[in-house]
C-alpha cells in the first residue's frame, strides 16, 4: 500500500527517520494527529495576483482598477487572448499552461466582480494563498470553520490537528459576492470548464 507508491515510501522513510508517528487508514494519512489527504490538495505553484501587481498594474492599475469598465465587455475568448498577448508582449513575461489559466481566472474575477481566491501553499499545519483585497477568507472542513488572517491580497490560516484538509473548502467574501473552492478538486476560483 503506502510502500508501493515511491513518493509515499520516501515520505514514510522521512517520518521514520524523525520518529514521527504515521497512521494510514482507509486511504487517509495521519501525521502527529493532523489528517492529510491521501491525495494532496490542489495547490498552485503560481501566484496570479502577485504576477498582476508586478507585471500588469503599472498600466492597468492596482488590482486592475483602471480596466474594470473595459474588461466587462470582453468575451472569455477575448480575455484569454488579451492575457496571453499582454503577458508575452507588454510584460515580457509569457505565460502558458497552468500559469496562464490561473492568470486568466484572476482576470475573469475582475470581469464578473466576485472575489478571487487561490491556494498557493498547503501543509498539515497551514494553508495560504491569494485573494481579492478587502475580502474575508474562511476555511471549513466538516463542522470546523477557521477564519484566515489577511494582509493585502495574501491570506493564511493555521490548521489544527485532526482538521481534515481533504474535505476543506475555502470561501472568500466581500461586498460584491462570494467564491468557494474545494481544495481537493481545484486550486483557484473562476476556473472555466
What ranges do the domains of the chain cover? Answer: 6-32, 55-112, 117-182
Higher pLDDT, 31 or 125: 125
Residue 150: CA count within 13 A, CB half-sphere: 19
Higher pLDDT, 122 or 39: 122
Higher pLDDT, 52 or 30: 52
Mean of pLDDT values over 147-153: 97
Residue pair 41/183 in contact by the 8 Å Cβ criterion: yes
pLDDT for the residue numbered 123: 92
Task: For cell 499552461, name the residue.
Answer: 97
CA distances to 47, 106, 139 from 158, in Å:
20, 25, 10
Nearest to 93 by CA among 108, 103, 106, 79: 103
pLDDT digits (tens, 9 = 90+) for 64-121: 888 878 887 888 899 899 999 989 998 888 999 999 999 999 999 999 999 999 999 9
pTM score: 0.78
Amino acid at each position: 500500500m503506502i510502500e508501493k507508491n515511491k513518493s509515499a515510501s520516501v515520505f514514510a522513510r522521512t517520518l521514520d527517520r524523525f520518529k514521527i508517528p504515521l497512521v494510514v487508514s482507509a486511504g487517509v494519512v495521519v501525521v502527529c494527529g493532523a489528517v492529510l489527504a491521501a491525495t494532496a490538495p490542489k495547490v498552485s505553484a503560481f501566484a496570479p495576483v502577485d504576477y498582476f501587481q508586478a507585471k500588469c498594474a503599472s498600466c492597468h492599475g492596482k488590482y486592475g482598477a483602471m480596466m474594470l469598465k473595459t474588461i466587462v465587455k470582453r468575451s472569455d475568448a477575448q480575455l484569454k487572448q488579451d492575457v496571453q498577448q499582454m503577458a508575452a508582449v507588454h510584460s515580457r513575461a509569457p505565460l502558458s499552461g497552468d500559469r496562464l489559466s490561473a492568470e486568466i481566472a484572476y482576470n475573469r474575477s475582475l470581469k464578473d466582480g466576485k472575489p478571487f481566491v487561490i491556494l498557493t501553499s498547503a501543509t498539515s499545519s497551514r494553508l495560504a494563498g491569494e485573494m481579492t483585497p478587502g475580502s474575508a477568507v474562511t476555511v471549513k472542513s466538516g463542522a470546523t470553520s477557521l477564519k484566515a488572517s489577511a494582509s493585502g491580497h495574501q491570506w493564511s490560516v493555521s490548521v489544527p490537528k485532526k482538521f481534515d484538509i481533504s474535505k476543506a473548502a475555502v470561501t472568500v467574501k466581500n461586498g460584491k459576492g462570494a467564491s468557494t473552492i474545494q481544495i481537493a478538486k481545484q486550486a483557484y476560483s473562476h476556473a472555466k470548464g
